[in-house]
Amino acid sequence: MSALLAPAPAPSRWDRVRAPLVTIGGLGLATLALHLRDPHVGGSWGICPSAAMGFWCPGCGGLRAVNDLTHGEFVSAASSNLLLVVLMPLAVLALAVWTLDRWRGRSRRLPRRLVVVGGWALLGAAGLFMLLRNTPAAPWLAP
């Protein structure tokens, strides 16, 4: 009977870091694909639905921005999608913290208030970015 109540063995380090490493690997493969197949060539990655409808969403130009970043062309990347270029370091930092925490066996829970406020701030920034890039007020934000 005591064998049924024994605690589960602690997960191995590999079990802990598997999710972050698979995520980073997938993003790395997508980045490599964007480096090798130029999204600046019309139709090379398909047609953007929002651009086909006549407006630019917050993600429009994101593929071109990643391609430009892989070639070290930061100004061109910012010209394609400034929001992505600004948020990219935060995403890399978040992935690094997640991986290191898992490596060390830590489990970090962000305060719910921070997640809610941060989520709304991100949605607001994306909405404002979309609005501005589709108006004459900031044509330099258009991809």
Distance CA 34, CA 81 (A): 15
What tens digit of pLDDT does each residue of 56-87 get?
A: 999 999 999 999 999 999 999 999 999 999 99
pLDDT at residue 1 above 70? no
pLDDT reported for residue 8: 80
List the chain domain ranges: 16-25+50-141
**Nearest residue to 106 via CA among 10, 28, 27:** 10
Tokens of 48: 């953007």
For the chain, what percent of residues have pLDDT higher than 70?
A: 98
- Confidence class of residue 3 from pLDDT cuts 50, 70 and 90? low
CA angle at 53 for the pair 51 and 55, rounded to the nearest 5°: 50
The proportion of the chain whose per-residue pLDDT surpasses 90, expressed as a percent, equals: 77
Please check the confidence at residue 51 and state whether its pLDDT lies above 80.
Answer: yes
User: Which of 20-34, 49-63, 79-93, 114-128 is predicted least confidently?
Assistant: 49-63
pTM of the model: 0.85
